[in-house]
Amino acid sequence: MDTRLWKRKFLDFFWPPVCAHCRRDLPGGESGALCLSCRAELIPLEPPFCLRCADVSQLSRGFCVSCRNKKFACRLIRAAFLYRGPVHSWVYSFKYRGRFPAAREAGRLMVRHWARFRELLAPEILVPVPLHFRRENERGYNQAEILARAISKETGIPVLNPIIRTRKTRPQWELDKKSREQNIAGAFKVARPGDVWGRRIVVIDDVCTTGFSLEACARELRRSGAADVCAYAFAREI
Give the residues lining the site for Zn ion (CB under 5 A). 19, 21-22, 35, 38, 50, 52-53, 55, 64, 67
Residue with smaller CB distance to Zn ion, 131 or 230: 230
CB of 38 or CB of 125, closer to Zn ion: 38
Contacts of 155 (CB under 8 A, 6+ apart): 111, 114
d(CA 226, CA 238): 28
Rounded distance between C-alpha atoms, residue 35 and residue 140, angstroms: 27
Nearer of residues 52 and 199 to Zn ion, judged by Cβ:
52
* Closest distance to Zn ion from the beta carbon of 67 (Å): 3
CA distance 182 to 216: 11
Least distance between Zn ion and beta carbon 230 (Å): 13
Specify the residue, 106 or 125, whose C-beta has the smaller distance to Zn ion: 106
Nearest distance from C-beta of residue 101 to Zn ion, angstroms: 16
Q: Which is nearer to Zn ion, 53 or 226 (CB)?
A: 53
Instruction: Select 32 or 130, whichever has its Cβ closest to Zn ion.
Output: 32
In the complex, least distance from residue 59 CB atom to Zn ion, rounded to whole angstroms: 8
- Min dist CB 195 to Zn ion, Å, is 29
Q: Which is nearer to Zn ion, 87 or 131 (CB)?
A: 87
Q: How far is 211 from 224, CA to CA, in rounded Å?
A: 20
In the complex, the smallest distance separating the C-beta of residue 121 from Zn ion, rounded to whole angstroms, is: 19
| Rounded-to-integer distance, Cα 59 and Cα 132, Å | 34
Q: How far is the CB of 233 from Zn ion (least distance, A)?
A: 14
